[in-house]
Structure 1
Amino acid sequence: MSLVNPSDPLDLQNAKLIKIAESLMKRVEYGGAPSGAAYEQFERAALLEKRVRERTLELERTLDLLHESNAQLAQANNETEAARRNLADAIETVSEGFALFDPGDVLVMCNSRFCRDFRDTVVDLRPGLAFQRYVETVSTSRYLALPATTTPQEWSEKRMRRHKDRRVMFNVQLANDRWLQVSEHRTANGGTVVLQTDVTDIIRLERQERTKLRDKQTRMIRATLDHLNQGVCIFDENARLVGWNDKIGTLLALPARRMHLGASFFALIDLLGDEIDFTRGLDREGFAYWARQKGPRAAISFEIRRNGAVTLQIFGRGMPDGGFVISVTDVTAEREAAKKLYELNEILEQRVMERTLELEDALSAAERANASKSRFVAAASHDLLQPLSAAKLYIASLADHCTNAHESSVLAKTESALTSAEAIIDALLDISKLDGDGISFDIRTVSLRDILRPLVDEMEVLAQNKGLELRLVDCDLSVESDATYLRRIVQNLLANAIRYTDRGRVLVGVRRNGGSARVEVWDTGPGIAEEDQNAIFEEFKRLDANASDNDGLGLGLAIVERACARLGHPIGLWSQPGRGSCFMVNLPIAGQVAPSGVKTPRVVRPISLAQAGMITLLVENDPQMRRAITVLMESWGVHVIEAEDADSALALLTDLEITPDAVLLDYQLGPGQTGLELYQEICDRLGPLPGAIVSANRAPELGQNCAELGLAFLQKPIDRQKLSQVLESAAARMV
């Protein structure tokens, strides 16, 4: 409980305390209470006086603090007022209109330039103005240039919607072609700062630059259109002419005075008189209908003829703004060239047909001549064998009665000569049969043991006479072949090995090779150089020029090659000079399936080739090799066009005017082009063709280059099975 009211002023509180103290002193001095109570009251009074004194000191300190706070507050008020004045002075110096709204969208302050262009609204701009009221006032100002289709209320509503965005910037058009850029920025406490910038000079300068650019672009477009060799005209969304060049009037024979800015498309169409005929594509009504369409237009293309002599191609395309552009091109020369080309093509087709008929006649004549030759050889061989047999009998009779050693030697040589002549006639007869189409084979299961064992027994005497060892590696395999011709093939290979081997041995045996059995005849003879390995299969070809006629005339291997080709038995050769040779014949094992999943064929030639009648271009600079490949392919029913080099091949294709069904090109064609370069030149003329490159070069890069061109790669000596696969693949593409 307090003796004084704390809310009283300090002076009043002190006066009351002094009065209370005096009253207490008097009561102590003059009161009738006992002396002890009086003393207690005195002590209490003294304590009260002490407290009053302490309270008085505290009050004095409080007053000092209050005075100091009042002084600081006054100073702060002065500084705040000075800062306000400085801020007002600062925003007044800003060259733009400035206004600050608090978070409640109430105007706090603005400078004199704010809304200066809206002079009829300045009287309302004072602190406390609501942002909504500010926008409404501006929207009704007579200095605001609103679009014709926008009311002040619509503008005000749109302005308030944009005010909700955190950052706003837009241009406002004023009267007298003046422009104001208005931008809004949010403050940290959620208020809004509005800036108004006069951009009239910038917009007018931009407008001038845009006008200059438009004029420059117009001149450039005009120059471009005049430079074109086509006639071009541009129409707007209302089909009014907005751009054109002089070429359009020349091509369509339109009067220059009718080609003017704003001319109607339909009026120009009407000017195209009867001398214009719509020949291909649209007609006149369809063209007009296309131009009347609204929205996106599909591109059109058609042709017209003017005066029956000039052909014009018209192309039309719509533009994004709804207009369209039309171009006219004179294609008279192209159409005349196409017409002449068509007529020339007809003539060429007629010439090709005539040449084809001539080739067919020549082929028939050649086939008849070949058949006649085969019949003649067969008849002559039969007629010659009879007198030869009689002569041998007469000589044998003379030998029995002749006792003179010299005469006996002459008779022996005569009999040997007649025997050689008989062997030659037999070989020629075999070759004639194999070259003819009437030959038939008896394909059946044949035991190799039944073929090889008797042959070795027969040839053993010849080998012993030369001091050679003839050895057979026995086997129990059975194959599918013609027994007679198979025996003749192995017999010729054995005889050839014994004939050309001077020392060592001859070995014959069978080796499994997947689904086939490979009969191999090895010898230790002189060997055959790689460049000669293909030539030995030619008729009357012997590498030993010093050999006598009794050593054969080179027909044995020719018979072997033809018989293997007709039977479908691939033949191979390995040889190395100084070490010997090995001839190999692949035969299908009876009842076996080849690794590819296709049963080994029994046919004597690829039926697909014989039926296809395909034409193959063969380019080989070695005459013997070229002839060997030709004979083999012709035995399969393939028509071969031969050439020895690239120039001859290209000239031959040009003269014959045909496209071969396949090509077989040697890689080394001598000086000049390689086989790959020749193939690329042929493809440039005739298009891609199937075929193969033949080479003794075994470099991997060559095989890779062939694969990139889609060609097969056949290594020398050529595997006949692979060659037939290449041709059959080409024949399949003819179907």
Structure 2
Amino acid sequence: MLVDPSLPVEDQNKRLLRITQSLMRKIEQNTDADGLAYVQFERAALLEAQVRERTRDLERTLDLLQESNARLAEANAETEAARSNLGEALETVREGFALFDARDRLVLANSRFCRDFLDIGDGIAPGLSFAGYVELVSSSRFLALPEGEAPDSWAARRLARHEDSRAEFNVELILDRWLKVSEHRTASGGTVILQTDMTDIIRAERQERDRLRDRQARMVRATLDHLNQGVAIFARDGHLVGWNRKMNTLLGLSLADPGRHALFSDLLDQLEDQISFHDGITAETLRSWAGRGSGRRPIAFEVRRAPDRILSVFAQEMPDGGFVISFTDVTAERQAAQALFEMNELLERRVEERTLELGDALSAAERANASKSRFVAAASHDLLQPLSAAKLFVSSLADRPQDDAARDMIAKAETALSSVEDIIDALLNISRLDSGKADLRVEPMRLSAVLGPLLDELGPVAEAKGIELRVVDSSLTVDSDPGYLRRIIQNLMSNAIRYTEAGRVVVGARRTGRFARIEVWDTGPGIAKDDRDTIFKEFRRLGNKEAGPTGMGLGLAIVERACHSLDHPLSLWSEPGIGSCFSVGVPIHAKDLPEPKIHRPTERPHGSCEGLIVLLVENDLQFARAASITIEDWGAHVIHAASGKEALDLLEEIQITPDALILDFQLSDDMTGIEVHDCICDIYGDIPARIVSADRSRTLRQACVDRGIDLIAKPIDLEKLHGFLNRIGPAATAA
């Protein structure tokens, strides 16, 4: 290689010129015939061309270098200007400012940064590591370290805060100075630190806090002096630091200077001879409690000072380790409590004596009520027997030819007997409801099953009186006792018709939440406020000529008791001269019941009882005679027996199987009508039967249901009895 590329361009050019000149001289001197000189000349000319090209490249390079140097100088000038401006701007900032790069090296800082740490100012220079900066601050004598903390531990805590993306905290300096340090991360991962002098703010806050504390202390002092309790406040070491005048009064002290009785133990020694402790607390217990540095649990006890003063003491620890003790004079309360205790003992003795007297009275009343209920039940049963016989006798007379006067008398007799039956039935119901022995069977039922039949039953009564009776049918299903709910609505409708002289009676049900409110409206005379409680009492009726002798004042009494027993709210609205509305709330059943299937009885021709043999077992001779006459008038033959044994013996003797059985439940011997039925069916097979009785208990009804027998209540409903015999008439004839 002729030229070393590593040499400067000027040296390369000089070397090429020397080579060219040497070659030119050599060519001129060489006269070789093979033309080597010419070749060397050409090479020299080529080298000279390369030298000129290199020279032009060198000149262009120098021009570019000069231009770059000029731009670099301009950029350096701008950078210095920007640096100067940034430095001036940072110097105008009132806070200390420092910027660390992503490698935690100090880039720049203003003169206020770490200015209060006078002994480390020379160490704050660009390139300083963040850990070095923390170490300088922690070792500065101007840093006020917390009590018991070494510079190393302070530096470790400071470096831990550096891990946060943002941190703010106060640093205490000596001479009661404070710095607020704020540390923020930059987008490039560097760190900006601001140091703000908070001395004036903290001192102002401290002064304000001290002022408030003084004001609160005065308020606390004034409050303590106005308390009706004695209060003593002790510091953590047991020194008395505050008290009120009431404490001096209660304890008989004269504390004017805390230094006079500085310690809690001194006060306790002074008072130990004057007070006696109670509730398991002694002076040593209290002294040990106060001597604990912390962790005291509140204690409460009583002390007696002098024979006539009792103090309630409560001691509790305060957050700073001190404790407060309060004294309350409870002498009056304890004396009142003692007086109340003695009075309570006296009252308890009196109450016990009175309770025994009331217990005897209650037992007597219960016995009387039970006796009354038994009497009503027994009397009703005894009355129903002859009443049923009388109805049968009257019914048999009605079927025989009579003149108009006789028929009128018979109709009146039947009406009177029906009234007596209604009264006895009402008395039985009231007796059962009062004694709490009413047989209530709450079950789902459709209101239409009650409202429809009542319209058919009472419609002719209203029509005969010239009153419009309107019953709005309802598809609601409710939970109630079907029999008692029918009796309730029937009594309300009957009363409305009875006391309404003109207009109409409207019955319907409204849905109100979970209840169906059954309402009976009338356009009657209305009920005054003073009479609204009276109408629900037995045998109490408001004056009304239209009521006539048919009303005994028992209907609403039964309604009120039945609603109470069924928990059906009963309410009354009335306006004299306009009308009244009785309403009963009945719970709505969750699901509707299916529409009931209507079974229409098949009409039987009169006299279809012809040829029937009916066994009548009845110990009441009058009822048996009346029933026999009535049944035989229908064309049947009656075999009568007074007891179950007599009936069995009679059937065995005559060797006849009866077509139907009519059995009284309560017989004179040990057998009941149910037992007689079971014995006859065991011998002769299943025979259609009916039980007749004045007993309407649930037990009897259930026994009849279990055997598939219908119960006919006394007084006997002749239509039911005739219908029963009608249904078995054709079968008996065919047999």
Equivalent in the alignment of 1:84:
83
Equivalent in the alignment of 2:421:
492
Equivalent in the alignment of 2:340:
341
1:463-502 alignment to 2 at 5 Å? 464-465=407-408, 492-493=421-422
Equivalent in the alignment of 1:389:
none
**Cα displacement (A) at 1:215:** 0.9
Contact 2:241–2:258 (Cα < 8 Å) also in 1: no
**Aligned in 2, Cα 1:130/1:29: closer, same or farther, shift over 3 Å?**
same
**Aligned in 2, Cα 1:46/1:226: closer, same or farther, shift over 3 Å?**
same
Contact 2:184–2:193 (Cα < 8 Å) also in 1: yes
**Aligned in 2, Cα 1:522/1:182: closer, same or farther, shift over 3 Å?**
closer
Which has the higher mean CA deviation after the structures are superposed, 280-289 or 208-217? Answer: 280-289
SS at match of 2:491: strand
Q: What is the percentage of aligned positions where both structures have the same residue?
A: 48
Among 432, 457, 461, the residue aligned to 2:395: 457
Contact 2:100–2:190 (Cα < 8 Å) also in 1: yes
| Residue deviations 1:434-462 (CA, integer Å, cap 9, x gap) | 67759758999x99xx9899477357479
Q: How many residues align?
A: 485
Equivalent in the alignment of 1:322:
321
Equivalent in the alignment of 1:626:
537
Does residue 573 in structure 1 map to residue 572 in structure 2?
no
| Residue deviations 1:437-488 (CA, integer Å, cap 9, x gap) | 59758999x99xx98994773574799426969999xxxxxxxxxxxxxxx9
Aligned mates of 1:135, 1:148 — CA distance in 2: 19
Contact 2:492–2:582 (Cα < 8 Å) also in 1: no
**Aligned in 2, Cα 1:666/1:436: closer, same or farther, shift over 3 Å?**
closer
Equivalent in the alignment of 1:616:
none
1:289-304 alignment to 2 at 5 Å? 289-304=288-303
Aligned mates of 1:142, 1:513 — CA distance in 2: 94
SS at match of 1:81: helix
**Aligned in 2, Cα 1:579/1:183: closer, same or farther, shift over 3 Å?**
closer
Contact 1:459–1:494 (Cα < 8 Å) also in 2: no
Which has the higher mean CA deviation after the structures are superposed, 271-280 or 310-319? Answer: 271-280
| Residue deviations 1:27-81 (CA, integer Å, cap 9, x gap) | 7777656799887777666655555444433332222111211222222233333
Aligned mates of 2:122, 2:64 — CA distance in 1: 46
SS at match of 1:312: strand
Contact 1:527–1:580 (Cα < 8 Å) also in 2: no
1:144-543 alignment to 2 at 5 Å? 144-146=143-145, 149-257=148-256, 263-280=262-279, 282-349=281-348, 352=351, 454=392, 457-458=395-396, 460=398, 464-465=407-408, 492-493=421-422
**Aligned in 2, Cα 1:625/1:16: closer, same or farther, shift over 3 Å?**
closer
Equivalent in the alignment of 1:63:
62
Aligned mates of 1:580, 1:463 — CA distance in 2: 28
**Aligned in 2, Cα 1:198/1:526: closer, same or farther, shift over 3 Å?**
closer
**Aligned in 2, Cα 1:574/1:30: closer, same or farther, shift over 3 Å?**
same
**Aligned in 2, Cα 1:626/1:471: closer, same or farther, shift over 3 Å?**
closer
Letter in structure 1 aligned against 2:395:
D
Letter in structure 1 aligned against 2:537:
R
Aligned mates of 1:212, 1:103 — CA distance in 2: 47
| Residue deviations 1:74-127 (CA, integer Å, cap 9, x gap) | 222333333333333443444444444455555444444444434344444444
Letter in structure 2 aligned against 1:69:
S
**Aligned in 2, Cα 1:56/1:572: closer, same or farther, shift over 3 Å?**
same
**Aligned in 2, Cα 1:50/1:325: closer, same or farther, shift over 3 Å?**
same
Aligned mates of 1:278, 1:204 — CA distance in 2: 49
**TM-score, length basis structure 1:** 0.51
**Cα displacement (A) at 1:218:** 0.9
Aligned mates of 2:371, 2:130 — CA distance in 1: 117
| Residue deviations 1:318-360 (CA, integer Å, cap 9, x gap) | 3333333322222333333333334444454555566667767
Aligned mates of 2:116, 2:246 — CA distance in 1: 54
**Aligned in 2, Cα 1:281/1:23: closer, same or farther, shift over 3 Å?**
same
Aligned mates of 2:34, 2:77 — CA distance in 1: 64
Letter in structure 1 aligned against 2:408:
N
**Aligned in 2, Cα 1:296/1:459: closer, same or farther, shift over 3 Å?**
farther
SS at match of 1:573: helix
Aligned mates of 1:303, 1:665 — CA distance in 2: 63
| Residue deviations 1:298-323 (CA, integer Å, cap 9, x gap) | 33333333323233322333333333
Aligned mates of 2:284, 2:140 — CA distance in 1: 56
Report 1 or 2 for greater relative contact order, CA contacts < 8 Å, sequence distance ≥ 6: 2
SS at match of 1:321: coil
Unmatched runs of 5 consecutive residues or more in structure 1 = 372-431, 473-487, 498-511, 530-563, 582-618, 630-663, 668-675, 677-689, 706-719, 722-735
